[in-house]
Structure 1
Amino acid sequence: MSAKRICIEKAKQISDVGDKDEKVVINSLDYDSLAKIIMLLPIPERIDMEEVCIKWKEACRLAWYNIKEYKCESSIGRSYDNRVLTQSYLQEILLRCGIYLKKLSLSDVCNSKIMPFIGDHCKNLTSLECKFSIDSLNDFANDFVQLTELENLECLMLDVLIELHEESIIAISNNCKKLKRLEIPYCNIVSSIDGEPLLSSSVLYELSKLQYLEHLSLRYTISLKDSTIIAIANNCKNLRSLNIESCNAITETALVALTNLKNLQNLNLYFTKGRILLIDNDEFLRKL
């Protein structure tokens, strides 16, 4: 018998002794039944229920598997609207339901230090959206690395001005094979060793390994080059949407290669250098 089950059984014995009063009907329920009742409560109240007694604390541990999505708001929520959501409280939530989460949306109540924690406790995430404020990023490039181990990710959106280590781009490409949506705008690729040059000036080329990509946003990515776009056009055949707004290093050569993408439906070239050359080219537009 596991240590957890022994603990539960002992708690049950204690509860049975203390609950002779037939009026306390709820305490006569087994752990699974009590957990199902607790699951009807909002998240903060589930955490509060752990303080009732030993039996309820154990039952609460069984009451998180129905939480598949979580979105950070400014407050904890519901009857707790006057309590501001903090990163430490978010960690308490993720400790309990992180293993069950499929979708997680982070806001500026967090800083980048939350990301290793997510990597450890939210292994089954399929969608992660980060909307940090610039002031909360701290050491984003280092903190981000552990997220690349989330092998089930299908959607990763980083809606903030960021720096990423070139190793992180390589890790995304090698580990997050299931990605269908990737948004890393305003991305600046840096070396993992301060002061050292990049191992490759075209590390974004690695993204062409993501063969299931359907939506890709690299807008305002200064280091984006023709070679990356050509590789994406040749390998990411499922791509339906591509945003390379204000990527001024992209030329006509790369844009012509995009005509190979038969499923492409949405192409944002706003303020892209090669756009001016092709915008009036009927043959190019017809191929798209």
Structure 2
Amino acid sequence: MTRQCSSLLLTLLTDDLLARIHSHLLDPKDRKSFGQACIVFHRIDSLSRTRLQPLHPSIILSLLHKLPSVHTLDLSLCPRIDDSFAFAICPFLRHRCVRTLSLSRASGLTYAGLENLVRSCEKLEALDVSYWCRRFGDREALAMSCASGLKEVILDKCLKVGDVGLAHIAVGCVGLQSVSLKWCLEITDLGIGLLATKCLGLKFLDVSSLKITSQSLHSIAVLQELESLIMVGCVLVDDSGLHSLGNGCPSLKVVDMSRCDRVTSAGLCSLVRGHRQLQQLNASHCLVDLTSDLLCALKNLKHLNVFKVDGARVSHATFQTITKNFTSLVEIGLSKCIGLRDIYIIRLVTGCCNLRSLNLSCCDTVTDDAIAAIAGSCRKLQCLKLESCASVTEKNMKLLGYSCAHLQELDLTDCCGINDTALGFLSRCTELQFLKLGLCENISDNGLFYIASNCMKISELDLYRCPNIGDEGMAALSNGCKKLKKLNISYCNSLTDKGMEYIGRLEELYVLEMRALMNVTGVGLQAVAAGCTVLSVLDLKHCVNIQDAGFWALANYCKNLREINIGHCVISDTALWMLLSKLTCLQDANLVPLTNVSARGLELALRACCIQLKKLKLVGSFKTSLSHELLQFLWLKGCKIRWD
């Protein structure tokens, strides 16, 4: 009878209504469950799915055939794709309305494969080719320029693309609105000048770590629609460049000039005076102090909501300016600030009660009095960073737990005054998602029990070098924190195989750092491998008691592993070959050192996985032992080898 009612109900729901229901399922797990419920729901799920991120290239063709509505294709987890793969999927892409294509790390492609892909996506608007390293140059940029409708490109760490390549893109894609060139070390002032001349509609530009000078900022200043300029670590830029920006870019709202060593308060004054509409300003680790002229100029930034001056010298005048003028402030960065005192923080939080993010890392003068003031005033606080604040104890954590109900991220790394009592108070922050407790030597399983019992939304937990955390703590986590995705338990030497068994129950875990766990054997690793099947990153360095059986389990169960560190592990030639040959998604492997592995064994293991590897760390003595043919093949596939 129930089945008949369900069938009748399905006949009353049209595809449009079912599609609207499907659109309200935001969690990928819920969407997956929806598609598995029945044939009708599976069909609606296939028709409604707009984004595809496959884990392996072998399934892409069949998925594209089943998913006609895909407009975002993310191939960043498939580093093995090459030109032959590109030619194979191009016919399918011509019949799809793909607007966003991610080829990040896909350095197996050449200009021919890239050109065919972009030509097949006639409505392509966004393209990501980041981290091709030395495989992406001017010729590949020319192929990319065929996508004339591009509005967004990401070229981060394309180390061989230069001014000529950027010119090809600028001329071919004049409608660009967002360009990221982070770590494109061959691009100079000339390339940035050409980009600014041709792409006048740019709204976002990231030139971080480029070897450009203030001449580039003179060129950028003509961009009338530019809203965000990110130039982290542009060490050749000086005050004259900021002066040019101050007289141009009338739409500028976001500037990140952190770690620009040659910039001073005078240059920042010029920028601020010309842009009273600034909403976000990051001047971290580039200013010695905040001069009176700069503070005077900052008073005009009435719309500023993010302000970061990490590493600068601060004073009473600094916080007087902030509290009187930055009424919209929601985030402030004060880590490593010189001269910071409790009284300044008390004034800050009293005047800026809408703060949602506060970074006080490495401010050793911060005490419990400041914590009390934060708890009393910042009821909307979502992120609080107190790393290495040695004077902070459990004293006022009770106030923080009671008052900051919206807290989602808390960093207490190396806060030696934090203990189980403090964690008991903080467990009232039930919205916590990210918690860092590394180097907190006074916490134990009892404190972790408090957190696990109440903070069930935690997805990232750092317990690095917490010596009193043991198996019972892992038991508490496995029962209460089912959504845990990242866990660091490195150097927690009290953990044994029993604790690993509990960790194996965390089905959503995809990053696990467990260095130097001397009491964990292959039995414990088997439990983790069998339970945490979506594991993507695993660090086993110095886990010297794990036997081959544990690595065999990894090879059989953890097919999605993309990064692994097994340095100093006792693994045999056979187990290494099995591990590397079966992990077909592996991109990054640290194999330094493996004392039980021979040169012959390493050669065979690398030959089994060399197609997809992008980063590899090996002992320097193997440089002459491995065949030239293998090393040449790895280089041609874009694998970066570090010899240690």
| Partner residue in 1 for 2:633 | 287
Correspondent of 1:257 among 605, 614, 619: 605
Alpha-carbon distance change, 44 to 268 in structure 1, aligned in 2, over 3 angstroms: farther
Check whether the contact 1:148–1:171 (CA below 8 A) recurs between aligned residues: yes
Check whether the contact 2:537–2:564 (CA below 8 A) recurs between aligned residues: yes
Question: Given the two structures, how large is their TM-score scaled by the length of structure 2?
Answer: 0.31
Cα distance change on mapping 1:45 and 1:94 into 2, 3 Å:
farther
Q: CA contact under 8 A between 1:73 and 1:85: conserved in structure 2? A: no
CA deviations on 1:99-150 (whole Å, 9 max, x unpaired) are 20111100334422422222222111111011335xxx23523333211111
Unaligned 5+ residue runs, structure 1? 1-36, 51-59, 76-83, 191-197
Shift of 1:171: 1.9
Matched with 1:212 is 560
The within-5 A match list for 1:4-15 is: none
Identical aligned residues as a percent: 17
Cα–Cα, structure 1 residues 124 and 139, in superposed 2: closer, same or farther, change >3 Å? Answer: closer
1:102 aligns with 459
Deviation of the 1:274 alpha carbon: 5.3
Question: Of residues 109, 112, 118 in structure 1, which corresponds to 2:477?
Answer: 118
Equivalent residue for 1:150?
A: 506
> Which amino acid is the alignment partner of residue 535 of structure 2?
L
Matched residues in 2 for 1:255 and 1:45: separation?
A: 59
- 1:38–1:46 contact (8 Å) kept in structure 2: no
Question: What is the number of residues matched between the two proteins?
Answer: 218
Deviation at 1:253, TM superposition (A): 3.1
- Whether 1:228 aligns to 2:586 is no
Aligned to 2:58: none
Q: Distance in 2 between matches of 1:203 and 1:240?
A: 20
Query: Distance in 2 between the 1:139 and 1:93 partners?
Result: 18
Q: Within 1, Cα distance between the matches of 2:438 and 2:533?
A: 30
* Residue equivalent to 1:193: none
Which amino acid letter does the alignment assign opposite residue 206 of structure 1?
Answer: A
Letter in 1 for 2:381: L
Shift of 1:246: 1.7
* Residue 160 (1) aligns with residue 516 (2): yes
CA distance in 1, matches of 2:453, 2:537: 27
TM-score between both structures, scaled by the size of structure 1: 0.65
Q: Could you list the runs of 5+ residues in structure 2 that have no partner in the other structure?
A: 1-377, 385-396, 405-424, 635-644
Are the equivalent residues in 2 in contact too, given 1:112–1:143 (CA < 8 A)? yes
The question of whether the paired residues in 2 share the 8 Å contact of 1:141 and 1:165 is answered with yes
> Partner residue of 1:169?
525
Asked whether the 8 Å contact 2:491–2:517 carries over to 1, the reply is: no
Matched with 2:399 is 45
Change beyond 3 A, Cα 1:66–1:268: same
What code does the residue aligned with 2:478 have?
G
CA shift digits 1:167-221 (9 cap, x unpaired): 322222221110100111112346xxxxxxx8xx544222112111110111101
Question: Which SS does the other structure have where 2:465 is aligned?
Answer: coil
CA distance in 1: counterparts of 2:514 and 2:480, whole angstroms: 19
Indicate how the Cα distance of structure 1 residues 130 and 282 shifts in structure 2: closer, same or farther if over 3 A, else same: same
Q: 1:277, 1:94 → 2: CA distance?
A: 50
Task: Please tell me whether residue 237 in structure 1 is matched to residue 584 in structure 2.
Answer: yes
Q: What's the counterpart of residue 13 of structure 1?
A: none
Q: Which of the pair has the greater relative contact order for Cα pairs under 8 Å at 6+ separation?
A: 1
Larger Rg: 2
Supply the AA of the counterpart residue of 1:254: L
Alpha-carbon contact 2:505-2:531 (below 8 Å) kept: yes
